[in-house]
Each structure stands twice: as structure tokens, then as C-alpha cells.
Structure 1
């Protein structure tokens, strides 16, 4: 009979197998020591799809993927279980239909009572859904990590870009605390005002503000502190590291209460160029306005809708309206009777064709004859208006009286020509016609300008005559024309104003009387005198041309050149040529101005002598050059005990003193403050003045023979024209004195002036 213990063991084993076979969620089966399946339960069939007959006796490698079998994973897991008594793992397993699932496997070794290996117990659970959830969670976590990393990189990149933007911004950026201490400054801040962060931190904010703007800045800061989160903008001057002041435009925003900022944000930029440009524009606008208000013609500016944008006071005088009340009003609404008039059509043509137009027109409601010069631009019209009413009335009056004078004209030995006040020819007699044919080879024509018939060398004289006629009448002189080879025909020329009943000029009568015989009789006697007079006239004419007629066209050319330069685009191919023209005209204008200064010496030499106080004269020179003296820390010492007054021309002495003092300051030694000692002495009935300085000195051996020459310069490091010493020598000699110099390079110069006491 079997032993009770053996029977009990068999019973227990069968009971266990029965229980195992009923488990449906776990595959529980036995393996022999070599891994072949000995038993199978319902859970195994549910999970893997095999029946008991299909798996018993087969090796467990049938459940592994091809890849795992190649790796010999089944046998490695058996070996691990044998070694460690248990082996736990997870991995992909294959069902009967070829699909895979994620298995949680526990493999345990089994021994008999004698300690011999019986095989292995293997429990497999399908945790595919959990695996999917974990994989999904892993994927989600990985995606979250990726997104966090990407967002972090973006934030870092944005921060770097933002910092780069701030550091390289054209504007300066600073963060300030409530006491205006700097917490942060961008690199551009140092570029704008030159101060490094360390240098800026060492300076108090108030010390960097221009004294005149300090009150404005303090008020701005008070408002910023009082109103958080509201931006305030201010413009003021601040000290640059190089010592000059620059204009900055500053925007302040109080974000002290913002936990992310906790500072006052200051954005600022250098607007010095804009401020100076605005000042220049205002200055030029003021100059233009002054010019337009000072001219004798009326001037108006109209926009595209023919509305007044500017009108000078002369226009108001013409029409009897305050010019200020015209601004903004349409010209045709103010003067409806002018619609479709010649002026209306001229304005339209100038605007539409963008071309210069001139016209004359009569406006009956005001009884006004006007001469219009219309200049268009894309923004509107600029119109110069001249009141020619008197001229028109005079012309009509003279035409009415012409028939009465005709008999007189034709029954006299005089050549007679009648002009209006604008120098246009109104009438003439036969004698005048004959002279024009003989000497001008042209025919007199009604309406032609008097200057058309002038010889080129007489144009200036005739212009001067018409100007003088406004002040006096008659003007009489003599003139000659060649009548035959070596012979002259002389005429007495008389210009007489024609006045109306109101004693106002309405025209000019020119008469020419043949005085050839008289002139020939007096020629020998007056030959020398006439020659001297003619030379003097030529000199006066040259002086006048240089000082007036020549400079006026040059000034006009310069003005037109500046206007064209302002309107011309920088890339215009004509820009270089126009710039060269402007430079040439400016140089010519400077030469003319210099010549005027020289020519004025002759006229000033006739000024009245006066007793000039030398100490007072020095103070006047110092006052006129105070900025130059202060800028270069110049010291001027005077000793006039020997002679404190001179009976002389004050204008000359002032010019001489100023040129010598300014030269001593200009040609100072680098790093040495200029010192000028001026003293006087009396010697041999002469007053001697000494100007001693500690400047660069002059190489007299090399340049002494040209020292007082016109436009002679020897030190090109200093701006100048080379006129100062020339003018000094000229003026000293005009006063009957002389000038000499002693000098040594890098030690200074001494100029000695000698003037006669009488």
C-alpha cells in the first residue's frame, strides 16, 4: 500500500494542477529541465491561443520572436532561473496567430525531495495594455521634455536676441532706481555720451545736466516718480565725456512697482543734429521772412488749392488788408472779380505746367495795375507782385501829351528821347533816330529798354543815372562818339524828370546837344585835366563794379546755387558739378569781399581824426573777441604810461589792434597759454606801439620778405586768408607810419608800430 504521505502529496499536486488549469488570466505551465512544456492551463490558451495538445512537448522558444531566438534568449532566461532560482523579465511574445503581446514573465526552478532539478514553473501575464499606457506615458513625457527643452531654448534664444537688440540698439537704454542711480546701461549708452559704466557711476546725475536745463530735468523726474506706468518724454542737454554738451531726447517710464522690472526705464537718443538742424531752419526761415518783408515788391505763397500760406506786409498795403488775415483763405474767394482774368489764367498755367510765368493785369475793384512773376513748385506757387499803377498812369499821361510835344521835338537841334519810369522808350524825334542809326547801327523802337541801346561800357553809368534821377533832376554830362577815323563828336547829355501835377515822376526826357566845336576849342587846354578826370572816373567805376555790381550777380549766383543744391537729390549726376560751382562762387565772393575791405582803406582815410584812448580801445577789442580770449585763456597786459592817447583814425587803430591781438592768439604755441604785452613809447616825435607775444614765432629769414603780402600764409594749421598783416601794413602806412617785426621761432614775435605825433 502507498504511504499516507505519498498519497497526500499526489493529492495536493492534483489539486494544484486543477486550480492552475482553471486560472484564465495567467499562463501557468511546467517545463522540464531543458525547457520543454510539460503542462498547460486555460490562461495559457487564452493568452497565447494554443491548446494543450498543441504545446505540450514543444520548446518554449516557440513563444519568442525570431530576433530573440537568434539571440538565444530562451536558453539564457532558463540559465538565469537555474542560477538564481528565479528569473523575472518582460518582453514581446508571439501568439499562435502571429501577433505579439507584451508579457510579464516569472520563471522559478523546481526541485524534488532529493534536491534534483525537476524543471521550471513559468507564469506569463499579458500586460500589453499596461505597456501601451506606459509607452504612451513615456512618449508623452518625452514629448513634454522635448517641448520644455525646445521652449527653454526658444526662451534663451529670445533672451539672447533681446539682449543683443538692447546692446546694439541705436537708442541708449538705462535702468535707474528711485534715486536715479544707474542699475543697468546698454552699450549704446556709452556710444552716445562717451561715458563707460564705471565712469558714469562715478558721476552724479545732476553734474551731467546742462545748468540751464537742470530745472526742466528735475521737474520731469518728479512727474515720473509721481505717476508710475506713464511714459514721459523730455529733451535736454547732457555733458559728453569729451567736454561738450549734446542734446538728448529721453523717454522715462516708472516701473518700480513692476516685480519683473523694479526700475525706471530710460530710453534716450542723441538728437543734437536734429536740434541744430531745426535751429538752422528757424534761422533761415527768419532770414527769408526778413528778406521778404523788406523787399519793395509784394510777395505771396499759395498752396495747391490757391490758399494763402504767406503774404508780406507790402501785399497788405497794396490791397488795404492786414496780410495776417489773408492766411488760409483762397485767393479767388477774396478776389472773385479776378476769376477768369489774365492773372487767374497765368496762375493756372504756372501750376499745371510747372513753369515760370509773368504777366501784367488790371484789377478794377482796387484800381490796381500789377506785374506778377509766378514761380511754381509741387507744393504751390510763389508770386512776386509789383504795383505798376503809377507807371501805367504815367505812360498814359505821357502818350496823351506826346502829340502836343511832337512839334517841339521836330523843330529843335536837340536829339530828344522820352522814357517811362521803367526805362522803356515812349517817344523820340528825328534827330534821335538819326543818331541811333549813326552810332548804334540800330533803329529806335517804342517799348524797347534804354539799356538795349547802351554801349556795354556805359550800362552801369545809365543804371546809376536812373537811380539818381529819383533824388535829383536834371543830370547833365558830356559824352562823345567816334564820327570819323581819329575824330569824335561830342554831346551834352541831359536827363530830366517829368513830373505830374502831384510832383511825382512819370517819365524821363533825354536830350543830346552837339557841342563838338566847343569841345574841340577847349580840348588842348583841358587835355591834362580831362585825362586825370577820366582816370579818376575809371577808378571810381572799377570800385563801384567791385563793391556793388560785381558782387550782386555773384550773390545771386550763390543764392541760386544753394537753392538748387537743397532741392537736388544726392544721387543726381549733376550734383558734383553744382557743388563745384558753389565752391567756386563762394571763393569768388570771398575775393570780392577782401577787395572791398582793401578798397575801403582809401575811403576811410578821409575820416575825421579824433583823440583815441588806447586803454579804452583795447577794452573794446577785448569785448569784441571775448569768446576767443576766454576759450584759449589768453592774457593781455598793457602799459600805456608813456602815451595813452593818439590823435588818429579810430577805425584804423581798432582794425590794427584787433588783427595783431587775434593773430597772437591764433598762432599760439601748442600747450602754452597766449600772453600778449602791449606798450607805448615816445621817441623822436613819434609814438611807438609794441605788441609782444609768446606764440609760435616767424621764420623771418625764410618768410620775412613776404610777411606783409596779400594772401601770404606760412602756417596752414590755422584757418586764415593771409589778409590780416597786409591790412595792418596798409592801414599803418595810410596813417603815415611804418611797421617792423622781430621774431624767433618757438619764442614769439614783437611788432613795432611807429606813428607821427602830428
Structure 2
């Protein structure tokens, strides 16, 4: 049948193709015929118009010659042309032209030809009637012929173009026809070849099919009777058994004679008639039965049977082919399997641990539980049938093959740390537990994962914090070492313990004192005492030091050789955690030369008083000027050195007290006047000495040392003041630099103490917790509840460690930002800014802030630091308020002795200074615990105040409020 349809299709295609080609040839021939007709018309037009024009030329030539010479031959030529003219014109008009423009041109030619011939006839007639009179109109005749010639050329050009186009179109059409024919021939050839191959293939297939059918018929009997599946053939109309195989007979313990020709119902094998009725209904409805389960009685036992029934046609008889299978054992196995699967489902799908099953060789996912899908950010359906490589699960693609090899080598493994990639691209750490199992004949990988990303992050953070801590500690130690080295190189340094015995001495100390380190260490600090100072002097010094304050003073010492020397001393008490001094840092500078110079100068002043030239020389060398003032006469004498010190001349400045006071720095004027006034008014004071600053005419500021005494006359009355003025600018600057270095060292020593305290207290606890919890998690399985509690504790410890590191960074940042740009800060505006920022809290707690900045409206400083100081102190006043009072805060500003003083006063809970004086500004120190806080506020206030070059003092009593006083050196932009 298929071959017949193929042949019919081939003939139909061939007929349609032939019809198409015939129609194409017909239209092509028709177009060629039209072109031929057009060519014939064009040829007729060209021939007739050529004959007509030649005829007109003969008429013009005969007429012109006859008019000129009167020859009869010319007249004959004219007459012959006149006779031919109508025939040629008629041929042109009847040539069959279809173009409207060309038809109009031919009509114009015909009209002009008629006019031309009439004009020629008129000329000939005139010539015959008056032969003696020449006619001059032949020129007009030539012009008419020229116009006709123009029209003739247009018609000729038109027809020639038509001929050329027709030739080109005919050639192109012929070529296109030939190409179409060639293409069509090639297609038809390929089509017939393909058809032949297809028919031949179908014939071969039919032959093989017939052979195979015969073979199947031969083996059907063997397959039916020897099939391991129980088969029966039943008449569809009567329900009688036509045949059954040996397997079915054995299952029911029947013989073939017992069942052939009988129905299954009469054999009594059905237990439940409703099940049999459902089987019949399904067969009637679907014309077949597939996978129908029911119970039957076989050999005295009840068995589960799976029926499959198909309708077949045998010898034009409709039959039912029954295939049934004993599934009793399988049903029992299925029940056990379902129980096992339910247990597996509980263990696998409901497990809090991420689990998956994949083919070991290909990596294709077979099953994953919800936690696994949720961890990686996919739906479960996105995993099934995909490989881990397709989902880009592993950060290192070699991890999975390595995992398989390890399992095959060792059988199993536990707690292998891997890096996995989630759907969002995030890399997370997991701990893998895996085994290789055989499922349905396939080697599969069963894997359980535990998310250890937080643990790894905590470990990495801990490592980073340890490295950062070590770096910071190393940097701080190096910084202190550098300062120690600089101090050791420039000063005499020693350290005494709480018993006043030396525990450290640098090389400068040894070199100056003449003692070796072995001779100094362990000895009393007075090993080099020159027995110059009184015991009261030392008692006051140690009283100051034991109270926690720094002591400064000059001490005369004795070297091992017995030589004496003077030192300027700064002794700093180093406090322990309780705030009590346990060591004393002694920084000294050798001032022997200065003391000897001072002594020599005073001696020289007395000895050289009579020698002015020597006195001037000494004064110039020591930058020391002298003066005298007669109390009775008011006469004043200045030495030349005083004028040089003041950068003036006697002509510019009169030597008077008032003139001298004009050079005193404005900030020192009141103090100098007061000291001089008190000395002159005192009946017991005979001398006075003080330091002050002057402003020279060029604007430079210099530091001067003044000393004068009252000299009595012969009667013992004080009538003259004698004094000296020494320019000690360089010495003062050196001293200020030494004090700055000392203060910087002291501050850095305090910072190091605070840093060491934080490391030993605030960092030790979280680090110890992290280490302990990290070790604990290594011994716990992820299923253990303690594992999750340990992870939470680990996170909490890391957060606390992070808070401490942030606090340290804030403290260090304050130290590093001291060079921030300063500006004029309006104190009233600053308080208003803080008030607006905390308006909700102030309104809630009904806080009142009273300010008085009438004496100090603005201050030149770092605005951000001052804002932080004000904000912290105001915040503390509100936070530590008394519950029975509305918070009241007073802020005042004033100027005193060249200093800007800002005072904060509140009515809060106050602080017990007797118990907490030494740690009031300590880091992480708190004195009230009824509200949240970290103990950072006052520490940051003191740090920022000192960073701005100021000092802060506190006065407070419990339940009596607190007063903070902040002092800044007055500076100007």
C-alpha cells in the first residue's frame, strides 16, 4: 500500500511538472510571437519611412533643378516623385504602429509632406507659366524638407530602439527558459532517483518483514507455552479458555484437559467477585486491562496476581490474551520496602543535617533533603537529574573525584572540610561525612554535610584579630622602644621600685655618676646623694610621688669620684591596677653647666660691678642685662644688653618701669605688676625673681628671667633696687621641648598601660572563650545540641572581641587625628546643636541646660573633638540622673591667666571619688550599673581633651552631682 501511494505521488508530480513546463513554454512562445510582430511593424515603418523620405528628396531635387535650369529631365524626376509619393505615405500610415507618440509623429509627417508637395507643385506651375522669371522660393522648400527629415529621424530612432530592446529581451528570455529547463531537468532526475531508492528500500523492508513474521509465527508457539509468564487465551464472546501455557497450569495445579473449553469462573479461582467485576468493567471500557491486581485461589492458597489483558484477532476470531503474574512475594517485599522507605524518609528527609544521594561515577543527583536544597538556595527539583558540576557546587572541581578516591581507598571518611558554592555564588565551608553504597545496581555516594561556615569565619576572625593584635602590640612596643631609645640617648633615665631602690639605670646615668649598672641596681636612689638637700626636701618629694602626682625639681648629686653635679629631675609614679604607685620613672638632665653659669654670673655681677666694660662683655655673652632703680629719686639705669634684649635703643625707649612694662606680653602684665608690687610693699622680702614673656618691636616673643633685690644705704634703709634681666628663650624652648617629650612619654606610657590592661582583661576572656569553644566543637558531632550552643557562644565571644577592637581603634584614631584642622567654635551654637540632636531625650527626661558664655563666646580648636566632649558629658549627666529630680545642667566658659576654662555642673548621682579617684577616667570603668554603658565616655573625654592640649579635673560627691573643669591654652588662628 505504501509503495502504491509512492508511485501515485511520483506520477502526480511528473504530470504536474509537465503541465507546469507546458504552460511556461506557451507563455514564452506567446511573448516571443508578440516580439516578432513588433519587430515586423518596426521593419515596415523603417522601410516605408525611408522610401517616403527618398521620394521627397527626389521631388525636392527635381523641383529645385527645374527651377534653376528649366531642364525637362528634372521635370520628369519631379513628376515621377509626385506619382510615387501617395503609395509610400500610405505604406507608412498602414505599418501598424501602436505607440501614441509615434502615431502623432507620423501624422505630423503626413501633414508636412502634403504641404511640401503642394509647395513643390506651385513652384513648378509658376516656372511653367513664366519661365523667364526666376523663382526664389526653392529655399523655403528645402526648409520644409529639413523639418520633415527631423521628424523622420525621431521615428527611425524610436523603431531602432524597439528593435534593440526586442533583441535583448528575446535573448534574455531564451536564456532564462533554458536555465529553467535545466534546473527542472536536474530536479526531476534527483526526484526519480530518490523515488527509485525509496521504493527499492520499501520492497526490501517488506521482504524482511515477511520473513520475520514467518519466523515469529514459528516461535510464537514456543514463546506461548514456554513463557515464564502465565498466559491464557480466552474466547472473548463465550469466556471459555481456548488455551493456556504450562506455567499457568502449574500455578493453579490443573491439567490442560481440566481447563480447555471451560470458563475461569467455573474453575473457582476468584475470591472477590467485586474485584472480578471491576476487571470486566475495565476491559469493557478500555478494551484492555493493564496492571490490575487481585487475589485468586491457587493450589489451596490465596495469592496476589497482577493481570494484563489484550484483545487479539486469531483466525478472524476475537480473543483475549491474559498474562498474569504471581506478585505475592513482591507485595510482601513492597510492604517491607515501604516500611523501610518510611524509616529512610524520616532519617533522610527530616534530618536537620544536609544530606544527598548521587551517582558515584557521573555525579547525577538522585535525591536531596530539604535542608540540603535550602542551604544551596535551590529547589529540590533543580537538583534531581543534574550533576554537581552543572550546578557549579564545588569551589574546587577536583574535590568530588578526590572524595570518591578516598572512599574507595579507605572505605569511609568523617569531617572532611570542603568549600561549596551556593546558587547566589557565595562560598561556604562545610564538613562532609560520606559512604559509597550500591542502590539498584548502581554505585552511589551518600553524603551528609554540616555547615561550618560560621566556625570558619570565627576561626579566620580570631586569626585575623590575633595577627592584628600582634601587629598593634609590636607597633606599640616598637614605638615605646623608639621613645625609650630617644630618651636614653638624650636624658638620664632610672626606675626605682616602691621601696625606692633602683631597678633600671641607662648608660647616661652610669656615665654621669661614675657607677656601673651592677653597682646601681638594687641600691637606694640616694646612692649618689651629695648631702646637699634636707630630709624635709626628700620627704615632700616622696609625699608628692606616693600621692600619685609627678614631681619636678633640681637635685645636687655626687658622682662615685666625689665630684658634684646638678640635675633637673622629672619623676613619674607608675601605678598598678589599684591605682597605687609601684614604680617610679626618673628622667634627668644634667644642668651642672647652667648652675655653674648662673653662679658664675651672679658672682661676676658682684665682682664686675665696678668694671663696666667687663660687665657688658659678660652680659652680652650670657644675654644678661642689669638695671638699677633709685627709690628716692626715681632714676633708672639700664645696661646696653637690656636694650638689645628688648630690640630697642635709648633714643626709642626711656629707661623706666612703665616703658619696660610696655614690652611685657599682655597675658603676663598683671602677674608681673602684682609680684613687683607685693615685693616692694613687703617689709621682709628683700628680693624677687620671676619669669615672663616680652613682645619685641619686630613681633618676636622672647622668654626672660628677672631677679632683683633691695639694697640698703648706710642707714639700713632700702633706697635702691638692683636687678638683672636674662634672655632665657633658648633654654626655655629646650625645657619646653624636654617637657613635651616627657609628657608625650608619660601619655604613651599611660596608653601602653591601658593597652596592656585591655589585652590582659578585656581581650583575654573572649579569646579564652573562643579557644575553649573551638576545641569543644571539634569533639562534638553536628547533631549534638551542645554543638549549636557552642557555636552561639563562639559568635557571642567573637562579637565581644570585635567590640574591644573597635574601641581600641577609636582610641587610636583620636591620637592620630590631632592634626585635624582647627576653627573658631561658637560655644552657644555648639550646645544648641547638641540640644537639637537630643531633643526627644531631653523632652522625655525634662532636662534643663543653662549656659553662660559671656566671658568665653568662642574657642579656637577642633570642632569635632569639642562636640564629642560636650556630647559625652551632657549624655552622662542625663544617663546618671537622680530619679527624684529633674536633670539640671550648667555649662559656663571663662578666661583666666591665659587659659580658656569650661565648667560642666549637674545634679546627678555623683561619684565616690575616695573609692574611684584613680580610675575615674579609665577605660571600661563604670560607677553606676542601673543603666546600659560600656565605660568609654569619660575615657574618650579625657583622651580628646589631652589630644587638644588641655586638662580635665573632676569634683563630685554621691547624690550631690558632679562638676568637670576643662582647661585649654588660649590659642588664636
TM-score class, shorter-chain normalisation, is 0.3 to 0.5
Larger Rg: 2
TM-score (norm 2): 0.26
TM-score by length of 1: 0.33
> Larger % of helix: which?
2
